[in-house]
Structure 1
Amino acid sequence: MLSLPTSYDQVAILAIVIGFFALLAWGRFRYDLLAFATLIITVVLGLVPATEAFMGFGHPATITVALVLILSRALAESGAIDPLTRAISPLTGHTSTHVAGLAGSGALLSGFMNNVGALGLLMPVALQSALKAKRPGSLLLMPLSFGCILGGLVTLIGTPPNIIVASIRADVLGESFQMFDYTPVGGAVALVGLVFLAVVGWRLVPARQNGSAEQLFDLGDYVTEIQVVEGSKAVDGTITELAELTKDVDAEVVGLLRQGRRLPRLQRREVLQIGDLLLIEAAASEIEKFVKATGFKLAEDRGKAEELLRSGEGEILEAAVPPDCPVVGRSLGQLRLSARHNLVAIGLARQGKPYHGRLRDLRLQAGDILLLHGERDHLAEGLKALGLLPLAERGLSYGLRDGAWWIVGCFAAAIAIASTGVLPAAVTFGGAIAVLVFGGRLPLRQVYAAIDWPVIVLLGALIPVGSALQTTGATDTIVDGIQWMTQGWPAAAVLTLILVVTMTVSDVLNNAATAVIMAPISLILADRMAVNPDAFLMAVAVGASCAFLTPIGHQNNALILGPGGYRFGDYWRLGLPLEILVVGVAVPMILLVWPL
């Protein structure tokens, strides 16, 4: 018989969690803000004791995720993995080998570092190699993203859900999963998935015109703001006269702003005035020519950027806005790129198309592509400070840094010690970071900058909420409902259901949040059925990480949305058969390695 919540506490916590997931799916608010607000509400209502409100921030899962992020960033910036990216070049002759090289490299890196970090390292390589091979970049980016996600299944530190599941196991059963306990199941799923991506998967990806390699490096036409200044050649001239002055430049005036207002209709006989802002649509190289031909200047320009553009000494570079980047939700005017970073935002593309409004007032979104101009050093420093990812390898590679092998050695030693189970992963990784910092190999400012704070806030806030689900008995109520629905089912069928449900939830919600909620449910369900709880925990770990149907299910999918020129509905074409394949491989492997 189906049981319903029997107390105020159960009704309240379930309502709060359902509301949290609904708002999370809506996407209007950041998930870290929602998680923290959820925590505060549960404390105010007495569902979480005030003395335990922030215990999640000291939880081993939260600490381990933060430490892995630090070591991942250090490894990425050391240049030690550059040889792996260079090894992809000989594989670009055929699309299948090209995809195999990229996705396989991404999977290998993701087994030991952050998924998004691995994708960020390989995305410029993918675009550069696509350009040389004259192949649409959209055919490569989605398989690369999915390959990085699959690689995270292989080890304890490959993805946050694995760390969360292991920590919950330690809390309930007294012992955590070890470093390579995930490898038999996760490795099999990743291997079969990579073969599928290389042989069949890329053929299911739409070859978007906006995702062609040429446009990804020179993203078609940007809409750029150019200011009419005193002394320029076209002052007091008409738009028609301006067109004659710039007849050798492939640029088109598409709008005119005067005193902060855009003229409703662009008249070719309109006389230009000092202070006017022209909106021109042009490729990056043509913007330079337009400025030189007219004597106008880039709007919002400061410092040396204008001189660099006129002299040709600066560089122009496209950079993608990753999820959870500090600039997401902020306008370009608020960022003050010129004053703070000596950079100029020349244009912006969203979902592969140029933005036609005022750049200054636009709030940035994950997947946006900024066209930036500045000196090489300023570009490198600015991208790091802003958390942006370059879309092309234009001299911004740091190469093999001094002490790189110290970083690799400390990382490898930490993994080796953690895999023995002698010390917890949080302790070994913390020790490795301490050695690198005190040894002068890892700057302290980089330690704090490397942490993905929204993920840390999410975990720290949701762990107490997850505990409240159990202490109020709400988790038992959910399990009662699952047992009622699956009455008479064999245990293997219930295991499959848990995997599918977890995967489906993760497609629309944050994977870490999914693991926090689903892992305790799976443990109680396994206990009620008197079967091996590890099998059900493995199903949750695989399901929480395998989010392939939407661009919002995983940070990697959001990151490639703009550069690939993808649409929301493009993901399921490759993602749905891949998820079916994951279920088909994961369930038998779980039953083999972790028998019920």
Structure 2
Amino acid sequence: MTFELLVVLALLISAIAMFAVNKPRMDAVALIMLVALPLTGIITVNESLAGFSDANIVLIAALFVIGDGLVRTGVARSIGDWLSKKAGSSEVRLILMLMLVVCALGAFMSSTAITAIFIPVVLRISQGTGCSPGRLMMPLSTAALISGMMTLIATAPNLVVSGELERHGLDGFHFFAFTPFGIPILFAGIGYMLFARRWLGSSESETQQQSGPNLAKWVEEYRLAEAEHRVSISAASPLVGKTIESIRSAEDTGAKIIAIERGKTLIQPTNKTLLEVGDILFIDLRADATVVEELCTRYAVDRLPLTGGYFSDRSQEIGMAEVLLPATSELVGKSLVEAHFHDEYDLRVIGLRRGRQEHVGNLKDEEMKVGDVLLVIGPWRAIRNLQSHGGDLVLYNVPVEIEEVLPAPGKAIPAVVCLVLVVGLMVSGLVPNVLAALAGCLLMGAFGIIDLNSAYRSIDWKTLVLIVGMLPFSIALQRTGGVDLLADGLMAVIGGLGWRTVLACIFAITAILGMFISNTATAVLMAPVALALAKDFDASPYPFAMIVALAASSAFMTPVSSPVNTLVVTPGNYSFGDFVRIGVPFTVIVMLISIVLVPILFPF
């Protein structure tokens, strides 16, 4: 063992120790190693920083952007809602369905890709069901890693091992050669995660403990169901073909049209908006039931029910907020009519709270006072713009629904098309995976799903720095002879052992090596060793090659074993020890399944 190898191992052990105690944070440890390795003289500065130009790093960044596009358009939410609906209140069914779906999709695309795409889906499920993200992120990463054991193209190590067979003049693995191993391992993984979830965070999501106002609550507090109305315009209505401006000038009924439902869309009315047959008007009319009925008869409109659930269902189009009038506001002492409130803010006041008293009468002539809290309604855009209107209004409270508003509504189909195209290109192999992902990002930009600012915000730079900082260890271990030393020792130890013991040793060495370097690099290093062993034993090379591929995908033991694990560290709030505690036993289970099945399906 050379002095240089001792130095590399010392740095590697130091990094693992810092990961274990989580001090400093993981990306800081990666940066420390990024600086320390070139200072040893074993690798150059350019080699240390080469990870920033690595295609896989760019691929991961692009997949963050694609995943964010699915969130912005509501695709991720729809998948999460579907899983939540099917699973109901059962956490068992939720974990079962999540792992099945992730593994099925991951069999035909990059496991890293499927993890990046499903992280926002899982976060949404967590928010909707009250289940802690920590209880779902580990099952997600586990299923994504197992998906690499399903098909030839599911993960790079499979292709590396198959390519090594071909370089030795043998037939490579066929597309579904891995499936008989992946399916039982998947069901073992589901059972294990259902058992181990008790150690993965609390049963309730921390985000759910933070309560806040919602639209339904305000409907009840301000008694909006008594003051707000929905009416449908019939063919006989004198409103058909008229503009809102002409209706207001003809007769002041006191009704304010807040929104118009036309088909499946909700539009914000302007003075020039023409009313059509079938339009459903959402109006603010604070009058007794007799006046409302008289107006419905006069204008030949039909009343429709209005409940708190309606506001929640239309929360993508209709926003609400509470605003406070400070002492410096120029609105103090004015009525809503005098202040031209709607014209100035593109919002309408539908409720007023003064002290502990809510006002639900006709508010248009109510004189506003210091400390008044106004409940306003209108487009979310206008609500967000309130902060730029000087000191006249202070945004006092917003409902929890504002977090659910889609930045790119109505573009779910283009987002899915982009995703399908990316997956298709990855599966076909027509272009490298990184180009397929970048093409998907560009298409999402062309469709208006994302912009450059949102794309940069969507990338988890902490995760990328962590991966980049650990990549130089692979070069350093090879250059100092650490890998060769391991291979020679393995050849010397397992020479006289039984077949399954030999497979177990190859699996264990590959899995342990994969704790420190990427699983692709592990496959590159171990595949030639496995084939050399097969030749020495005068045995079929296929069981040896398959055990290396399965072990390379068994990167469950540390957060740096695979980018898949690294991706879920932050959203799952995991420590280094969480992966060791959960991943090591499951790796042993996978090893046992593998050494039983491999000799049966690929005899020696």
TM-score range, shorter chain: 0.5 to 0.7
Paired AA for residue 417 in structure 1:
L
Matched, 1:100 2:101: no
User: How far is the alpha carbon of 1:46 from its aligned partner?
Assistant: 1.9
Tell me how large the CA RMSD over aligned residues is. Answer: 5.2
Rounded Cα–Cα distance in structure 2 between residues aligned with 1:164 and 1:455? 21
Paired position in structure 2 for 1:428: 436
After superposition, residues 226-265 of structure 1 pair within 5 angstroms as: none
The verdict on how the C-alpha distance between 1:96 and 1:433 changes in structure 2, with shifts beyond 3 A counting, is closer
Q: 1:150 aligns with which of 143, 149, 152?
A: 143
Q: Deviations over 1:434-493 (max 9, x none)?
A: 333345433112222232223323333433331232123221112233344434235653
Contact 1:150 1:190 in 2 (8 A): no
The verdict on how the C-alpha distance between 1:75 and 1:205 changes in structure 2, with shifts beyond 3 A counting, is closer
The verdict on how the C-alpha distance between 1:447 and 1:179 changes in structure 2, with shifts beyond 3 A counting, is farther
What is the DSSP-based 3-state SS (H/G/I as helix, E as strand, rest coil) of the residue aligned with 1:34?
helix
Rounded Cα–Cα distance in structure 1 between residues aligned with 2:97 and 2:63? 25
Q: How many residues align?
A: 417
What is the DSSP-based 3-state SS (H/G/I as helix, E as strand, rest coil) of the residue aligned with 2:456?
helix
Paired position in structure 2 for 1:115: 115
Q: Deviations over 1:376-427 (max 9, x none)?
A: 5xx7xxxxxxxxxxxxx77615287333322221222222222222321112
Rounded Cα–Cα distance in structure 2 between residues aligned with 1:116 and 1:86? 18
Paired AA for residue 555 in structure 2:
A
Q: Deviations over 1:286-309 (max 9, x none)?
A: xxxxxx89xxxxxxxxxxxxx999
Paired position in structure 1 for 2:288: none
User: How far is the alpha carbon of 1:28 from its aligned partner?
Assistant: 0.8
The verdict on how the C-alpha distance between 1:402 and 1:114 changes in structure 2, with shifts beyond 3 A counting, is same
What is the DSSP-based 3-state SS (H/G/I as helix, E as strand, rest coil) of the residue aligned with 2:30?
helix
User: How far is the alpha carbon of 1:33 from its aligned partner?
Assistant: 2.8
Rounded Cα–Cα distance in structure 2 between residues aligned with 1:309 and 1:164? 65
- Identity percentage over the alignment? 14
Matched, 1:91 2:75: no
User: How far is the alpha carbon of 1:204 from its aligned partner?
Assistant: 5.8
After superposition, residues 19-58 of structure 1 pair within 5 angstroms as: 19-58=14-53
Rounded Cα–Cα distance in structure 1 between residues aligned with 2:549 and 2:147? 11
After superposition, residues 169-568 of structure 1 pair within 5 angstroms as: 184=179, 187-188=182-183, 191-193=186-188, 195-196=190-191, 202=194, 205-206=197-198, 211-212=203-204, 217-218=208-209, 375-376=398-399, 396=404, 398=406, 401-490=409-498, 492-500=500-508, 513=517, 515=519, 518-523=522-527, 525-530=529-534, 531=541, 534-535=545-546, 537-545=548-556, 556=568, 559-560=571-572
Contact 2:75 2:416 in 1 (8 A): yes
Contact 2:87 2:97 in 1 (8 A): yes
User: How far is the alpha carbon of 1:52 from its aligned partner?
Assistant: 3.3
What is the DSSP-based 3-state SS (H/G/I as helix, E as strand, rest coil) of the residue aligned with 1:475?
helix
Contact 1:178 1:419 in 2 (8 A): no
Rounded Cα–Cα distance in structure 2 between residues aligned with 1:526 and 1:174? 14
Rg (Cα) greater in structure: 2
Contact 1:156 1:179 in 2 (8 A): no
Paired AA for residue 539 in structure 1:
L
Rounded Cα–Cα distance in structure 1 between residues aligned with 2:437 and 2:149? 12
Paired AA for residue 101 in structure 1:
M
Paired position in structure 1 for 2:225: none
Rounded Cα–Cα distance in structure 2 between residues aligned with 1:64 and 1:186? 28
Rounded Cα–Cα distance in structure 1 between residues aligned with 2:476 and 2:580? 35
User: How far is the alpha carbon of 1:47 from its aligned partner?
Assistant: 0.9
- Which consecutive unaligned segments of at least 5 residues does structure 2 have? 212-354, 357-369, 378-386, 389-395, 535-540
Q: Deviations over 1:22-72 (max 9, x none)?
A: 333332123333233323333222211344342222222222222222222
User: How far is the alpha carbon of 1:191 from its aligned partner?
Assistant: 3.4
Paired AA for residue 402 in structure 1:
G
Contact 1:123 1:141 in 2 (8 A): no
What is the DSSP-based 3-state SS (H/G/I as helix, E as strand, rest coil) of the residue aligned with 1:431?
helix
Contact 1:107 1:148 in 2 (8 A): no
Contact 2:134 2:571 in 1 (8 A): no
Contact 2:146 2:554 in 1 (8 A): no
Contact 1:546 1:579 in 2 (8 A): yes
User: How far is the alpha carbon of 1:163 from its aligned partner?
Assistant: 5.2
Q: Deviations over 1:235-287 (max 9, x none)?
A: xxxxxxxxxxxxxxxxxxxxxxxxxxxxxxxxxxxxxxxxxxxxxxxxxxxxx
Q: Deviations over 1:110-144 (max 9, x none)?
A: 666453652442244246346xxxxxx46x96366
Rounded Cα–Cα distance in structure 2 between residues aligned with 1:94 and 1:471? 51
- Which consecutive unaligned segments of at least 5 residues does structure 1 have? 131-136, 221-291, 294-306, 315-338, 341-372, 380-392
The verdict on how the C-alpha distance between 1:94 and 1:484 changes in structure 2, with shifts beyond 3 A counting, is same
Rounded Cα–Cα distance in structure 2 between residues aligned with 1:398 and 1:45? 50
Contact 2:463 2:567 in 1 (8 A): no
